[in-house]
Amino acid sequence: MPSPFPGMDPYLEHPELWAGVHHWLITMMAEELVPQLRPKYRVAIEVRMMQSVGDSAVLVGIPDVAVRQVTSAAQNQPVAVAVPPTTPLSVTVPMPEVVKQGYLEIREVATGAVVTAIEVLSPVNKRGGEGRRAYEAKRLQVLGSGTHLVEIDLLRAGSELPLLQGNVQSHYRVLVSRSDRRPQADLYAFNLQQPLPQLPLPLAPGDAEPILSLKTLLDRVYDRGGYDLVVDYGQSPPPPEFTEAERIWLAAQLASATEALPLDPPPH
């Protein structure tokens, strides 16, 4: 079944759900593109791994222990001896976080060249820290090459990726940067109430460009992943908070979707 929203479903942005949504969306895009791009191109699902310590992690020092000096009879040299505490203290140590992030590369079969890179942003790309710095470095590398970039941001939380000009405020956005038009690029900016855009996928000059329907893809993700079974629409969506007008629209949309659900068949 499809999501109850005409555009992006903000409940799918929940941190406990997004990793799965991200994985499904990358997979659905690959399945959609493979038959359209054969035999000249192949779709490669790539994975990057980053290890970092969460922004909120705090290094807790080793608890103090008593140190006293004793005299060695053999060498008459001071030796430091740690006296263990009677009861250990409970402390918290920072844990490295290994983040696996999938993305797509459209490669030309004959040469192996990467023609187009498709990125779906994750929270690690939009918050400060090593994950964002690593992604920004990769982004600049692509923008400085002959590879097209399609960057899909379906997360309201975090800081938007930088643009030199034309930066607008919106809940969601998709950047399509064609290598032959840089530094100019196409920005699709849209809000909760608006439908998801139809995206042209740039390829080599003269090749027909397939169209990606984000709404169709997300509905497949919603259905295949069984998100109707886990999303609690009785709760508020994850932060950041919506305006009062947006909350009213959201409630009306959910009420309308609930009324449209088919009634359970009567018992035999």
Tens-digit pLDDT profile for residues 23-58: 999 999 999 999 999 999 999 999 887 665 655 333
Residue of 70 and 78 predicted with greater confidence: 78
Give the pLDDT score at 34.
96
DSSP assignment of 217-247 equals: HHHHHHHHTTGGGT--TTSPPSSSPPPHHHH
264 pLDDT more than 80:
no
123 pLDDT more than 80:
yes
Average pLDDT over residues 195-203: 95
pLDDT averaged over every residue in the chain: 84
Quick check: 238 and 250 in contact, CB under 8 A?
Answer: no
- pLDDT interval class at 72 (50, 70, 90): very low
Q: b/e per residue, 62-78, with b = 16+ CB within 10 A?
A: eeeeeeeeeeeeeeeee
For the chain, give the number of residues: 268
261 pLDDT more than 90:
no
Give the pLDDT score at 57.
31
Give the pLDDT score at 268.
47
SS3 label, residue 62: coil
> In this predicted model, what pLDDT tens digit does every residue of 145-193 receive, in sequence order?
999 999 999 999 999 998 887 678 899 999 999 999 999 999 999 999 9
Give the pLDDT score at 263.
45
Quick check: 5 and 100 in contact, CB under 8 A?
Answer: no
Quick check: 164 and 138 in contact, CB under 8 A?
Answer: no
11 pLDDT more than 90:
yes
Residue given tokens 């498709």 in the structure block: 118
Give the pLDDT score at 100.
76
Give the whole-number percent of the chain exceeding pLDDT 70: 80
Distance CA 95, CA 151 (A): 30
68 pLDDT more than 60:
no
List, in sequence order, every residue forming a beta bridge with 138; answer none if it has no partner. none
Give the pLDDT score at 66.
35
Average pLDDT over residues 83-111: 80
Residue of 250 and 85 predicted with greater confidence: 250
